[in-house]
Amino acid sequence: MTVGIIGYGAFVPRRRIRLEEIAAVWGADADSYRRGLQLHEKSVPGKDEDTITMSVEAARRAFVRSGGVDPAEVGAVYVGSESHPYAVKPSGTIVGEALGINPEVHIADLEFACKAGTEGMYLAQSLVKAGEVKYALGIGADTSQGAPGDALEYSAAAGAAAFLFGADEERILAEVVATYSWTTDTPDFWRRAYMHYPRHGSRFTGEPAYFRHITNSARGIMEKAGLEPEDFAFAVFHQPNGKFPIRVGKRLGFTMEQLETGWLSPWLGNTYSGASPMGLTAILDVARPGDLILLTSFGSGAGSDSFVFRVTERLPKVQELAPLTRVQLDNDKIHVSYGEYAKLRGKIRMAE
């Protein structure tokens, strides 16, 4: 049975904060962050935007592109995030309710730092492949947290991507050719219960964590699928900043031409669970029939999920049906001051 993406959508909040605005508050050197991390600005969730609302927006767009799939026929919903609004109480139930999917559905919230989104995608496609459900929805969404003044504050951003999986041949936009995961216990980034902000192992998050897992996962899936870097039209890797995805891509043998379409982080920031999935939506927005796409996520802790997709004849027919990811990223921006950002991110202590 052929399983594939039958609908996809992304949501980018309109608000942005420039790197200079953050650096000025902390007396930091904006140029060195721009050079070192290749970041210019990042998205900021508005007062009424959180992991749940962004998941709903992205998923609605996935349904629009699905050619009329009845939400009630979706048998599974997985929301991957490290910023679920509730510590106990699922995001997915609200998402399912808002989309008209409930109640005959299996729903779960997932968390695995920045790779919870691709976990949802993996589970969704696997259940469809197994014949357990007709359609399944995998979502990656985050309003990610960086401690004030920490290096993460320059990148932690907000956004969502949703993918509807199914096996109806006539609906498939991009067939799942292969999947592969590579996981170890590598404590490079964590947040314990009741901590407001995550902690990270600084440079330890680089080679032993991000680069090692992505490299092994991407090489593993290419070996499994019998493919080489030059076989792909596009590749997207987890994008915690602007620099890492290009460095790992080039190390694996990909060219800038293959990498730049899904490379959103310089102007979007790190949307954590949404990061590589949103890059995939930007690729699906422009990909042509027959194109092969490599997606490799990374989640601290640590692991990488990889997917190879092959684009079908149907994709070009649905690309324009919902807002394109780049269009959302490049237009209608509202730049906020650090003060507004602090208010929106709940960093100001209010009267009790």
Peptide bond preceding 103: is omega within 30 degrees of 0, i.e. cis? yes
Distances 133 to 77, 130, 160, 178, 304 between C-alpha atoms, Å: 11, 8, 23, 20, 25
Q: Which is nearer to other proteins, 90 or 201 (CB)?
A: 201
- The verdict on whether 41 is a catalytic residue reads no
Q: Which is nearer to other proteins, 67 or 208 (CB)?
A: 208
Residue with tokens 């906020």: 336
Q: Which is nearer to other proteins, 189 or 232 (CB)?
A: 189
Q: Number of residues in contact with other proteins, rule: CB under 8 A?
A: 9
Local structure of residue 14 (DSSP, 8 states): S
CB of 207 to other proteins, least distance (A): 8
Name the segment binding other proteins (CB under 8 A); options: 105-113, 154-162, 196-204, 276-284. Answer: 196-204
148 lies in the site for other proteins, by CB under 8 A: no
Name the segment binding other proteins (CB under 8 A); options: 86-94, 200-208, 262-270, 334-342. Answer: 200-208
Of 59, 308, 5, the residue nearest 168 (C-alpha):
5
Name the segment binding other proteins (CB under 8 A); options: 50-58, 195-203, 232-240, 277-285. Answer: 195-203
CB of 191 to other proteins, least distance (A): 15
CB of 220 to other proteins, least distance (A): 21
Contact by Cβ (8 Å): 289, 313: yes
Q: Which is nearer to other proteins, 108 or 151 (CB)?
A: 151
255 lies in the site for other proteins, by CB under 8 A: no
- The verdict on whether 114 is a catalytic residue reads yes
- The verdict on whether 82 is a catalytic residue reads yes
Member of 98, 204, 211, 229 binding other proteins (CB under 8 A):
204
CB of 302 to other proteins, least distance (A): 13
Q: Which is nearer to other proteins, 79 or 209 (CB)?
A: 209
- The edge-to-edge listing of strands for the beta sheet with 15-18 is 41-44, 15-18, 334-335
Alpha helices (H) along the chain: 19-26, 30-37, 51-64, 92-99, 116-130, 212-225, 243-252, 256-259, 265-268, 275-284, 315-318, 325-330, 338-344
| H-run or E-run covering 181 | strand 174-186
Quote the CA–CA distance of 232 and 234 in Å, as a whole number.
5
Quote the CA–CA distance of 286 and 288 in Å, as a whole number.
7
Helix 275-284 to helix 116-130 angle, to the nearest 10 degrees?
A: 60
Instruction: Say which of 49, 82, 119, 153 is annotated catalytic.
Output: 82
Residues taking part in catalysis: 82, 114, 238
**Footprint of other proteins on this chain (CB under 8 A)?**
29, 32, 199, 201-204, 207-208
